[in-house]
DNA sequence: TAGATTGTTAATCGATTAACAATC
DNA sequence: TAGATTGTTAATCGATTAACAATC
């Protein structure tokens, strides 16, 4: 019976991963929590505590092997598994995300684009063309899809989300400005751009 | 000598704002912390504590006036002031953000688009056309700009950021996958999309 | 006035930092 | 072996929740 790992820790893991990639690029083989803490501007204690939520990846007197730690964090974040994504909402933002996902991260594969606007149907975005929303149920029967990227206006977001859930989608990357009510086994990660912009605005006033 | 308001509180403010907008749309005139807590799935205690960081906006026995609280939170977030933005990096994502900022939030006004790629120069995005990066210093001399939206690859992000800072920009909305080192008086708000996607991936595994 | 609900103080819980024995 | 640095326990700090007197 493992203790739940806190949100605060999980939010920090991708940042560790990013810094370890950087170290790899610099051909640095090993690093101590102390040195890493200076680079990242956090305490060494926090780094060691965070990592030890998942296991002992270091060695006394040596520190951490960069390649090994990098790969382990990758596994923790599920980056070793293949993820198939569909885009729901192929407007400006959606198209940008579709391109972005393709180029930036292998193992995240965009496999279908959808939109409710019939005018967009057939439009090429990278290697894919946009399908109409009413083709979605059939598509999900014949393709394995892990994650739906939701880039639609907030007005329709909840109902489209419900549809996605009823079709068996277990992960939603939500760019709509609403909180989505989903069952426990469905995971939602929100990117609320306007919230982010408001926070910046606050910091500046 | 006021006590610093914690990041945790500030992150929640835009969400309150969003729910208050919703209440306004539903023509609900007043709300108690208890009722709001049910809608938002947080404790009433937290709502009252959060708000009282900024002042007493409620009234015993009555609750909070929705319009008033909405407007006050708007002021706290600086939404009453005009913000002029420029886009630095006019690729797919940048163009989507430019359109997004225009349509979604009044008081945030996109006033200039820039890119280092000469091929993009002159390209129309909404009402604006893309300028070359070397036109930026002159532009900033003649226009008041509060915020730069940084949508460029991480390789150039730090050096472009330094340039922006040296030209007097005080706020950066950073979509590049790096941490930007800036002086104290410059505020950075990060949108690390790949971090967000990794968090979703973690939750699902 | 009585009832409702705030603002605020106190109690609890969780996260971060410090310290150090274990050990490579 | 001696020095370095981890993993982990203990101490501190901060954030959340509970409680309740103040008051509309």
Q: Could you give phi then psi for residue B121, rounded to 5 degrees? A: -55, 130
The pLDDT assigned to A106 comes to 79
Query: How far is the C-alpha of B93 from the C-alpha of B174, rounded, in Å?
Result: 12
Is A52 contained in some domain?
A: yes
Is B1 contained in some domain?
A: no
Q: Which of residues 116-175 of A touch B (CB under 8 A)?
A: 146-147, 170-171, 173
Query: How far is the C-alpha of B152 from the C-alpha of A177, rounded, in Å?
Result: 24
Among chain A residues, the shortest Cα distance to B126 is held by A92
- Burial class (CB within 10 angstroms; exposed 0-12, middle 13-18, buried 19+) of B188: middle
Alpha-carbon distances, residue A122 vs A87, A117, A118, A139, A152 (angstroms): 14, 11, 9, 15, 18
Among chain A residues, the shortest Cα distance to B14 is held by A195
Residue percentage of chain B with pLDDT more than 90: 94
Residue B102 touches partner A, C-beta closer than 8 Å: no
Is A158 contained in some domain?
A: yes
pLDDT band of residue A103 (cuts 50, 70, 90) is low
The pLDDT assigned to B1 comes to 42
Write out the H or E segment, with its range, that includes residue A30: strand A30-31
- Residue A133: is its pLDDT beyond 60? yes
Range of the domain at A70: 7-76
Residue A18 touches partner B, C-beta closer than 8 Å: yes
Name the nucleotide with the smallest C1'–CA separation from A36.
D5
A79 touches strand C (CB under 7 A): no
Among chain B residues, the shortest Cα distance to A126 is held by B92
Q: How far is A23 from chain B (nearest CA, A)?
A: 13
- Burial class (CB within 10 angstroms; exposed 0-12, middle 13-18, buried 19+) of B122: exposed
pLDDT band of residue B101 (cuts 50, 70, 90) is confident
B89/B190 same-domain check: yes
Residue recorded with tokens 């108690």 = B32
A112/A69 same-domain check: no
Residue percentage of chain A with pLDDT more than 70: 98
Quote the strand ranges of A56-196, DSSP E: 58-59, 63-65, 83-88, 108-115, 124-125, 128-132, 147-150, 171-174, 187-190
CB contact under 8 A, B170 and A204: yes
Query: How far is the C-alpha of B46 from the C-alpha of A27, rounded, in Å?
Result: 47
CATH number at residue B17: 1.10.10.10
Selected residue with higher pLDDT from B188 and B101: B188
Which residue gives the smallest C-alpha to C1' distance to D6?
A60
Is A205 contained in some domain?
A: no
> Which residues are A84's β-sheet partners?
A109
Tens of pLDDT, residue by residue over B162-200, are 999 999 999 999 999 999 999 999 999 999 999 999 999
Domain finish residue from B76, B101, B122: B76
A32/A93 same-domain check: no
Tens of pLDDT, residue by residue over B185-194, are 999 999 999 9
A174/A116 same-domain check: yes
A60/A94 same-domain check: no
The pLDDT assigned to A3 comes to 66
The pLDDT assigned to A101 comes to 81
Q: Which residues have C-beta within 8 Å of that of residue A11, sequence separation ≥ 6? A: B195, B199
CB contact under 8 A, A92 and B99: yes
Tens of pLDDT, residue by residue over A14-32, are 999 999 999 999 999 999 9
B104/B18 same-domain check: no
Is A2 contained in some domain?
A: no
Domain finish residue from A76, A102, A122: A76
Among chain B residues, the shortest Cα distance to A22 is held by B178
**Which of A79, A96, A99 is the closest to B198 by Cβ?**
A79
The pLDDT assigned to A2 comes to 54
Alpha-carbon distances, residue B88 vs A48, A97, A104, B85, B179 (angstroms): 37, 18, 19, 10, 17
Query: How far is the C-alpha of B58 from the C-alpha of B56, rounded, in Å?
Result: 6
Task: Decide if A61 contacts A69 (C-beta within 8 A).
Answer: no
Mean pLDDT of A94-120: 91
Q: Could you give phi then psi for residue B148, rounded to 5 degrees? A: -105, 130
Is A46 contained in some domain?
A: yes
What number of other Cβ atoms are within 10 A of residue B42's Cβ?
16
A109/A175 same-domain check: yes
- Residue B43: is its pLDDT beyond 90? yes
A109/A180 same-domain check: yes
Q: Which of residues 46-85 of B touch A (CB under 8 A)?
A: 76-79, 81, 83
B87/B72 same-domain check: no
> Among residues A196, A39, A9, which one has the least CA distance to residue B178?
A39
Is A189 contained in some domain?
A: yes
Residue A205 touches partner B, C-beta closer than 8 Å: yes
CB contact under 8 A, A196 and B189: yes
> Among residues A141, A130, A191, A132, which one has the least CA distance to residue A166?
A141
A104/A26 same-domain check: no
CB-CB neighbors (< 8 A) of A178 in chain B: 18
- Measured to protein CB atoms, the chain D nucleotides within 7 Å are 2-9, 14-19, 22-24
In chain B, the number of structural domains is 2
A199 touches strand D (CB under 7 A): no
Query: How far is the C-alpha of B96 from the C-alpha of B35, rounded, in Å?
Result: 37
Is A1 contained in some domain?
A: no
Domain finish residue from A32, A61, A76: A76
The pLDDT assigned to B2 comes to 54
Tens of pLDDT, residue by residue over A59-89, are 999 999 999 999 999 999 999 999 999 999 9
CB contact under 8 A, B14 and A97: no
Name the nucleotide with the smallest C1'–CA separation from A56.
D7
- Measured to protein CB atoms, the chain C nucleotides within 7 Å are 2-9, 14-19, 22-24
Q: How far is B152 from chain A (nearest CA, A)?
A: 12
Query: How far is the C-alpha of A51 from the C-alpha of A64, rounded, in Å?
Result: 11
pLDDT band of residue A1 (cuts 50, 70, 90) is very low
């Amino acid at each position: 019976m493992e203790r739940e790992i806190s949100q605060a820790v999980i939010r920090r893991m991708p940042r560790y991963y990013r810094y370890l990639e950087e170290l790899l690029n610099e051909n640095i083989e090993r690093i101590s929590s102390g040195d890493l803490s200076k680079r990242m501007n956090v305490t060494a204690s926090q780094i060691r505590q965070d990592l030890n939520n998942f296991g002992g990846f270091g060695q006394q007197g040596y520190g951490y092997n960069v390649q090994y730690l990098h790969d382990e964090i990758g596994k923790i974040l599920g980056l070793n598994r293949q993820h198939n994504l569909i885009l729901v909402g192929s407007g400006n933002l959606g198209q940008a995300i579709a391109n972005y996902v393709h180029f930036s991260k292998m193992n995240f594969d965009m496999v279908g684009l959808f939109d409710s606007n019939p005018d967009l149907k057939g439009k090429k975005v990278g290697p894919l063309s946009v399908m109409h929303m009413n083709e979605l149920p059939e598509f999900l029967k014949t393709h394995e899809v892990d994650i739906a990227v939701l880039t639609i206006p907030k007005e329709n977001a909840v109902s489209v989300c419900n549809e996605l859930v009823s079709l068996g989608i277990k992960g939603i990357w939500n760019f709509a400005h609403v909180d989505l009510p989903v069952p426990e086994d469905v995971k939602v990660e929100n990117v609320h751009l306007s919230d982010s912009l408001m926070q910046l605005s606050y910091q500046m006033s």
